[in-house]
Structure 1
Amino acid sequence: MTANVSSTQPASSPSSPLHAVVADDFDAVNQTIVAQLASKVPLVETISQYIIASGGKRLRPLLVLLAARSLGYQGDKHVTLATLIEFMHTSTLLHDDVVDESHLRRGKQTANDHWGNAPSVLVGDFLYSRSFQMMVDVGSLRIMAILSAATCMIAEGEVQQLTNIGNPNISEADYFETIKGKTAMLFEAASQSGAVVAEATSEQEEALKLYGRYLGLAFQLIDDLLDYEGDADAMGKNVGDDLAEGKPTLPLIYAMEQGTPEQTKLIRQVIRKGGLEQLDDVLEIVHATGALDYTRKRANEMADLALAQLDALPPSPYRDSMAHLARLAVDRQA
């Protein structure tokens, strides 16, 4: 018999100085997560709690809380907003792992590997549906417009990434357009909606929207870099996973542009067929061409752009945490 997660498995908060400034808000988010996972179908609660409690930095709900508090917000709707953003993100993880046929996420067995594809997809749908119910509770048509548009862009980004697999002809511009939808869009929607709930000025709302976008781009760039130089134990996934799937990420795109004809030909072949048989050869090429340094440079550029947006906010510990977050996004090793 499945345990009732609402009474026996409370969600846990990440512990870091970034989260400390909104620690009470995060406790409220955890309580809301547990309450909103309630379902008359035990498997829905079991899988939902499994994926939500499996670790992660909780950056997207953190952005909501920091954005709202940085503008002096004193209400409680930002807690509901942060929770539904986390549900939206979690649902995409469930769906992504099915699409990618993943077996490991954050060092743990994926839900689809444990329970199968069909339950994972359907529970992902449940979390998406629950998030839209919670949007009604927030009571802002402006926020609903932002988040509903974001869900469409995220889905388009995921489909675009899927169509890019095995295609060595993807340009850097194509790559950035894909990760803007796939990853940066939810960062952007989180920080912008946090601004809206706090009744920001138009200038502040735009600044926080762009802050989230650039932060998300920086975060994804480092994710793609770590696929070629990260620590598997720290990342909770295997080095070379993107290569195995034939994903043309920026390290490979740049390496093909800068490499010799022979090096470019090899990478193109590997992207087309996927697999890890030539991982060592590809790693040698991405290092020799400076592809990882270039990817980190682009990530730092995005972080700098994110930092510049914070000038629109009044000084506060919340703004300081957002600045620190931009730097951590590019300095992390996992």
Structure 2
Amino acid sequence: MKASGVSAPGAMGVTLLDLPEPPPPGTGQVLIAVEAAGVGPWDRLLNTGGWNVGLRPPAVLGVAGVGRVRAIGPGVQGISVGDRVVAHEAPLPGGSGFWAEQVLVAAAHTAPVPDELEPAAAAALPVNGLTALQVLEALDPGTDQRLLITNGGGGTGSLAIQLAAAAGVEVTATASPSAEERLRSLGAAEVIDYHDPAWPARAQGGFDAALIAAPGTAVTALPLIRDRGHLCSLTSDAPHPERGITSTNLYVRPDPAQLNRLTIDLAQGLLRLTHEPLPLTAGPVAFERVTAGRTAGQKLVLIP
């Protein structure tokens, strides 16, 4: 089986692999013939202890993707061979991920893909989309409240802007100047250049909530939040709470119901997410681009 992943535990680089096919699905599992797989900055954590997803090198990276169900294990209901499904899977029951021709996943973590949504677009969505939805649920900003998002130009930040703006939340995002027009078109009321050392003063404070998606910005954002407001960090650096502010870290979890909602919204044009498809053999290059932040606001997707 052609794949892209890591050759040994702790290996920092990604290489092309030729691995045995996954075992037949066990109870509650399905085997998927992968059509597209998402690439994200989190993939560098899978083999270094930063995110324990049960990877067993030599193994395939990737915790999200789309494909056709090839085989079904005992106890699986509501899914048939040939169905197209999308999933965010962690831990990985087969010890390997989606950057391959086949992957083994828990059936309970899959969601159907709308017919009108192409596989590459659906594969770009799971981790960023679920993270954005789950962090907004944790922050729970109300209509007409003000939300600060750091790194609004990233995959999660741009989706959070859209979801929040659609709910009537006033969003201020930090991003590079090149992303300003795009983020305003997604619903951001204000976009502030994060390169500017005075960006916190420009933001003016008084935010009801802050979504931290840029490392090192949580402590800076905390004084900008009103008393008894909320801060949630995606970069594991939530500061000690003060002034009645709740301050927490969030780690994405598989949720097929939420994923189903997100794919429907994407198929109906209620969400926008640009993606760049690459062949599976470009896995090492895609990994380097993502970890270096050279994606120009696009989600990289590998196509077997």
Fold match by TM threshold 0.5: no
- Larger helix percent: 1
